[in-house]
Chain A
Amino acid sequence: MVLSSVTRASAQSIVQHPATKPVLFVAALLPPTLLVIGLVNHTLGANPAETLIRSLGDWTLRFLCLTLAITPLRQWTGLSALARLRRMLGLFTAFYAAMHFSAYAVFDMGLVWSDIVRDVAKRPFILVGTAAFLLMLLLAATSFNRAIKWLGAARWQRLHRAVYGIALLAILHFFWMRAGKRNFGEVAIYATIVAVLLGWRLYKENWGTRYFMKLGSHSAKG
């Protein structure tokens, strides 16, 4: 739609190139690599534990947005090959969430589980984040082909729609975390991205097809 057929064909061949996935895989590992380098070189600031925890949270949100962007991008551009990147991005989102949670559990809580349970119960924003993380683990655990076969495509898809709930929980988690200082600038950016990506799906589901069908019938007449 957005791209000319020539551009689309060449973009499609880039996405389908055998090197694309490995390159994306390595790129997705860059942030934690840089964090480790920063840790070793003492460039993570006065409170490296806090920097690590927050930065891993930021990257979880970014990968979540990237994952959710695949389907709308595919529909806007007609680049069907993008779909083959979605599972990897989704798994990286879960990977970052796991590192984010582990960093909190280890550096903030000293891995004392009774303290973690008490803290999760005491702080609503941590409760919401933990809920999103556990849901994400469920989706990651059912992401492979055998799981799709085992669950049946329809049920699998229904289960994986939970990612929309995860996105809302993640935004709420970030919002609540920033509420103490009423520092909502970045929250608004992520919320807007998620709203557009989820809003597009809603729109498409309810009005999109009819609208496009109308458009199609007009042009057919013309």
Chain B
Amino acid sequence: MLLKDRGFVHPIASEITPQAVFNARRRWLATAAAMAVLGPRAAWPQANAAAKSAALPGARSAVPGALTMDKPTPLADASSYNNFYEFGTDKSDPAREAHTLKARPWTVSIEGEVKKPGTFGIDELLKLAPMEERIYRLRCVEGWSMVIPWVGYSLSELIRKVEPTGNAKYVQFVTLADRAQMPGLKSSVLEWPYLEGLRIDEAMHPLTLLTFGMYGQVLPNQNGAPLRLVVPWKYGFKSGKSLVKIRLVEQQPATSWSLAAPQEYGFYSNVNPKVDHPRWSQATERRIGEGDLFAKKRPTLMFNGYETQVGSLYAGMDLKKWF
């Protein structure tokens, strides 16, 4: 209620991307030229990026901070420029390879420090709480960003259902790792399955979204179908895709990137312009789909612009140490 509408008119999902226009236009335009100069692998997803998905509407969220005023990124970009290493490390790989992912049937098991552990089917999860649309900024650790209208509900809705015990201090997210569906698992770039984690208060924060759709449709495979996490104040890799298991645990859980490069990727990985990645600056970001080639990069915001909502979670913490 509080920030439901601060006198601005928010775009509704159907108005954000003229999808049919993108589909038709992208398919016909100079794919051949792109193929010749970039090679067929890079050029192909351009042609079939924004595939049609079933509708999944969400009511405008009333959670404070959930509806950014920033202009949403075109769906064609958000569904063709993805880091989802299970389908290849190139950002054009997932759009081309993820068709092999079987998003149904799907179950998610919730276990560990909970009174009511269990396995939930995807249909059950879809009905567990009302769907909300949340327009979040997404900041990748690599230095680019998007604005995506997600559809889902707060993860806390699900966690409350399973009644965490007093020992539940952290939440670990385990994502799908199936060689039959995911060609990228052949690569040794990370240990599989991809693991992520949050502190319990982070996981229970209303902005932490259990996500089933985007742009008013069910999630495309390359964006983490059939359900993923979205933690908007952390770098994108903290938001695991295609979740299969959620474990509530007492100790800080292992996470894939901090296993692979502990000096580069910490457990927290909050968006922070003042704490550089050891190999590059995090002070600015390129907003995908915004402006022309010569557009200046944007300054990156503390906690990706969600400081008002989440800053108190980290009161008194040295964020350089707990990067």
Contact = CB atoms under 8 A, between A and B. Distances in A.
A and B: partners?
yes
Interface stretch (B147-155, B214-222, B291-299): B291-299
A118 B286 CA distance: 18
Contact of A47 (B81, B188, B189, B280): B81
A28 B144 CA distance: 32
Interface in A189-210: none
B272 to A, nearest CB: 17
Most buried by B among A35, A45, A48, A181: A45
A35 B37 contact: yes
Interface in A29-79: 30-31, 34-35, 37-39, 41-49, 51-52, 55
A6 B244 CA distance: 67
Interface stretch (B11-19, B27-35, B246-254, B313-321): B27-35
B44 to A, nearest CB: 11
A149 interface: no
Contacts of B43: 43
Nearest to A35: B37
Contact of B81 (A46, A52, A55): A46
Nearest to A51: B38
Interface in B241-293: 279-281, 286, 288-289, 293
B34 A44 contact: yes
B80 interface: yes
B37 A38 contact: yes
Interface residues of B, number: 38
A101 to B, nearest CB: 16
A182 interface: yes
B163 interface: no
Given A34-B37, A122-B279, A123-B279, A45 B80 contact: yes
Contacts of B189: 181-183
Nearest to A111: B294
Contact of A110 (B33, B76, B78, B296): B296
B265 to A, nearest CB: 11
Contacts of B80: 45-46
A106 interface: yes
Interface in A162-192: 180-183
B187 A182 contact: yes
A141 B45 CA distance: 41
B294 A107 contact: yes
Contact of B288 (A35, A39, A42, A46): A46
A45 B42 contact: yes
B294 A42 contact: no
A65 to B, nearest CB: 16
B90 interface: yes
15 contacts: A30-B37, A31-B37, A34-B33, A39-B293, A43-B26, A45-B45, A45-B80, A46-B76, A46-B77, A46-B288, A51-B42, A119-B281, A122-B279, A182-B187, A183-B187
Given A34-B33, A46-B81, A119-B281, 20 more contacts: A38-B30, A38-B38, A41-B29, A43-B34, A43-B46, A46-B76, A46-B288, A46-B289, A47-B81, A47-B91, A51-B38, A55-B37, A107-B293, A110-B296, A118-B281, A123-B280, A181-B189, A182-B188, A183-B89, A183-B189
